[in-house]
């Protein structure tokens, strides 16, 4: 009985850790969207017959603020999915793809690199639900 309880607890812990990538970035996006110095757009695509949600696209574009917290959230979660950084002299793009049994999530952030601070960012989150 104790082995079964330990096994169930371990499974729940692993599942929680896998979802933390989504939670950390989503939490940072929600925080930036609520402080008021940003533009936030969300669109939902539904199956016309069943009305089930097929895809959600969220776009956050902060204005007049640095985006260090969002950048840190992406960097902290890079081990929880397929992560890549593309950069040139002025701009960087981070992409994180997380896949699980229920959904695929793509997190993308583009921003201007100003030495120690980062600004003019845009975060796009695409959530595609599996049928």
CB atoms within 10 A of CB 33: 19
Cα torsion angle, 63, 70, 83, 44, sign = negative
User: 68-111 pLDDT, tens per residue?
Assistant: 888 888 989 888 899 999 988 788 899 999 998 899 999 999 98
pLDDT of residue 10: 47
Query: What is the domain-level CATH number for residue 7?
Result: 3.30.160
Domain count, the chain: 1
User: 13-64 pLDDT, tens per residue?
Assistant: 454 444 445 578 888 888 878 877 788 899 999 999 999 999 999 999 887 6
The residues facing 122 across adjacent strands are 110
pLDDT of residue 106: 95
Question: Does residue 8 carry a pLDDT above 70?
Answer: no
pLDDT of residue 111: 87
Q: What are phi and psi of 52, to 5 degrees?
A: -70, 145
pLDDT of residue 22: 59
pLDDT of residue 105: 93
pTM, two decimal places:
0.78
The residues facing 55 across adjacent strands are 45, 128
Expressed as residue numbers, the domain containing 56 is: 2-129
Helical pair 2-34 and 68-76, crossing angle rounded to 10 deg? 160
- Are 74 and 24 in contact, with CB atoms under 8 Å apart? no
pLDDT of residue 67: 79
CA–CA dist 107, 83 (Å, integer): 9
Q: What are phi and psi of 121, to 5 degrees?
A: -90, 160
Assigned token pair, 40: 């936030």
């Amino acid at each position: 009985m104790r082995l079964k309880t330990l096994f169930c607890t371990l499974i729940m812990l692993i599942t929680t850790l896998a979802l933390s990538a989504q939670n950390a970035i989503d939490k940072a996006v929600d925080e930036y969207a609520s402080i008021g110095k940003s533009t936030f757009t969300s669109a939902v695509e539904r199956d016309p017959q069943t009305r089930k949600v097929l895809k959600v696209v969220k776009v956050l574009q902060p204005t007049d603020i640095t985006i260090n917290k969002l950048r840190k959230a992406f960097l902290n979660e890079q081990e929880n999915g397929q992560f890549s950084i593309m950069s040139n002299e002025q701009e960087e793009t981070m992409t994180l793809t997380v896949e699980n049994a229920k959904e695929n999530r793509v997190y993308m952030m583009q921003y201007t690199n100003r030495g120690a601070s980062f600004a003019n960012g845009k975060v796009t989150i695409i959530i595609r639900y599996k049928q």
